[in-house]
Structure 1
């Protein structure tokens, strides 16, 4: 809103990304803001889905138990607080996410968010983009030297010594 980039504006943006993960929706769809939609539908009395069942990504809905979902949602909403002073710092955010994962029985063995990329390598299957789910794939034959994907997913090529 202020057009000023700060650590707290980065936290706000990350909060929007967290809400995108929960809903598999873009930040603005059909003139509706994801933050407003989540805030309007949220119901803390619904201990399982927090009133967001209709808004949630289907893969989250169908995952069985949603242990830690409420804490993740609360954290996302703290990140998108209107006042920057009410938002956590990025380091507080990382610690909170690691705590959620540890409390829910996931072994992170992480001391920082940067080490979590190796955990993604253990994931099964190719990454899916929620916005393009079910849409036909475009083939790209770009020989202009475009950047290769350098994310956390392991490449399946076998490397042998010379």
Structure 2
């Protein structure tokens, strides 16, 4: 459901793979449906339903009932949000925006609707998205594992702790 279609051909995950997954999440927000539900794929269903001549984007029954009204959708920037989501789930990675462009566009949508997007009150903005103050930007899918680090835990890795421990001793039955 969330996986970039190009991954099946290239076996490579990229920054644009993340963009595709984010686009699927955006469509989940609009429809309140899982990426794959009862054999239907959300991206395909929305792509087939979109009709910009109709309100709201022709999505009608696909929309989350919580945001649907008898007169369309009463959400600021809804059509631009759906358009952005659909650009994120383009089949070709080269046709998708970057995450920085997505952040800027969401901020623009909000600003055009009068929502305060002051970076001082937000955790991040397009100006600092994807940058790191101590090291150059990196992407976890593209960075090789340093030699000898296969079984060591890095500070940015998931740390699992549980009350259950597994014995390393092998005993015959």
Q: Is the 8 A contact 2:88 2:97 kept in 1?
A: yes
Q: Which runs of 5+ in 2 are unaligned?
A: 126-161, 164-173
Q: 2:43 aligns with which of 29, 35, 41?
A: 35
Q: Is the 8 A contact 1:94 1:113 kept in 2?
A: no
Instruction: Quote the RMSD (CA, aligned, Å).
Output: 2.4
Q: Does residue 56 in structure 1 map to residue 58 in structure 2?
A: no
Q: 1:23 aligns with which of 17, 22, 31?
A: 31
Q: Is the 8 A contact 2:81 2:106 kept in 1?
A: yes
Determine the C-alpha separation between the residues in 2 that align with 1:64 and 1:22.
Answer: 10
TM superposition shift of 1:58? 1.3
Q: 2:104: which partner in 1?
A: 95
Q: Bigger radius of gyration, 1 or 2?
A: 2
Change over 3 Å in CA distance of 1:64–1:9 after alignment to 2: closer
TM superposition shift of 1:115? 3.6
TM superposition shift of 1:44? 0.5
Change over 3 Å in CA distance of 1:4–1:112 after alignment to 2: farther
Determine the C-alpha separation between the residues in 2 that align with 1:64 and 1:70.
Answer: 9
TM superposition shift of 1:111? 6.8
TM superposition shift of 1:53? 1.7
TM superposition shift of 1:113? 6.7
Q: 2:83: which partner in 1?
A: 74
Determine the C-alpha separation between the residues in 1 that align with 2:100 and 2:122.
Answer: 9
Q: Which runs of 5+ in 1 are unaligned?
A: 117-143, 146-162
TM-score (norm 1): 0.66
